[in-house]
Amino acid sequence: MINCITWIGMDDSAKKINIAIFRGQEESPREELTVGNDDTGLGRLAKKLKELPGKVQCVYEAGVNGYHLQRYLNIHGISCDVAAPSLTPRRSGNRVKTDKLDAKALARLYRAGELTCIAIPLREQESLRDLIRGREDAMEDQQRARHRLARFLMRRGYRYLGGKNWSGGHLKWVKGIRFEDDRDQMVFDEYRLAIEEQTDRLKKLQSKIEEVATQPFYQKRVSYLMAL
């Protein structure tokens, strides 16, 4: 049965997809090609795969391009799995790495059953993940903006001794600071504005997450997490 399957290894990057095609237990790929990672290239790829005889099994590693390739092929009736990169076997000492070699290696490992494939999230689940990532990014950006202002004030000899930084009292103290040098005042105002913008951004994302958490599908799960 395995000799009737065409195994497709793909290595995708921002601009292109390298493809290696193996028929059955062939040691060397029957064909290698590269297509653009755009609508035209994906159309060429789907057409090529549909023309192959027998059952076609495709795989590529999860990465920055997400699941668009898998979903595109799935819509066109082509089976495609996504492998977990951290669990892909690597040869010790093998430092030669190219996209074409990666595509061939993935096809061979896939055929041998040595890849660990991941569950593809629904689009709604992926959107929720990105919403949470967006909140985490906003928290990091807010923290960076706060650090920049704090270091600027320390270089000018300003230190808050009235309690915890970024509390109501601290923010009131910050707003009362004025500099005689207009250059210092400009930098200070820009740092303050950046903090306010990141704080507003964080509040919006937090509010949206709280709204989603009240939906019936998530409400019970969220209550369990809150209990922890």
**What's the pLDDT at 101?**
78
Radius of gyration of the chain (CA): 26
6 plus 102 within the same structural domain: yes
**Which residues are CB-contacts of 35 (< 8 A; sequence separation ≥ 6)?**
16, 17, 19, 41, 42, 44, 45
Q: What percent of the chain is predicted at pLDDT more than 70?
A: 95
* pLDDT, average across residues 102-112: 95
159 plus 103 within the same structural domain: no
Closest CA relative to residue 10, chosen from 34, 27, 30, 41: 34
33 plus 76 within the same structural domain: yes
14 plus 104 within the same structural domain: yes
pLDDT class of 4 with cuts at 50, 70, 90: confident
Q: What is the pTM of this model?
A: 0.79
131 plus 106 within the same structural domain: no
Closest CA relative to residue 58, chosen from 127, 117, 126: 117
Q: What is the DSSP letter of 117?
A: B
Contact call for residues 29 and 52 (beta carbons, < 8 A): no
Per-residue pLDDT at 2 exceeds 80: no
Per-residue pLDDT at 36 exceeds 80: yes
6 plus 70 within the same structural domain: yes
89 plus 16 within the same structural domain: yes
Q: Please state whether 77 falls in left (phi above 0), alpha (psi between -120 and 50) or beta.
A: left
Residue 116 covered by a domain:
no
**What's the pLDDT at 129?**
94
| Domain end among 56, 85, 111 | 111
Q: What does the longest C-alpha to C-alpha distance in the chain come to?
A: 82
Per-residue pLDDT at 96 exceeds 50: no
CATH number at residue 20: 3.30.420.40
Reported as a single tens digit per residue, the pLDDT across 177-220 is 999 999 999 999 999 999 999 999 999 999 999 999 999 888 88
97 plus 15 within the same structural domain: yes
| Domain end among 111, 146, 174 | 111
| Domain end among 50, 80, 111 | 111
Tell me the residue range of the domain where 204 lies. Answer: 123-227
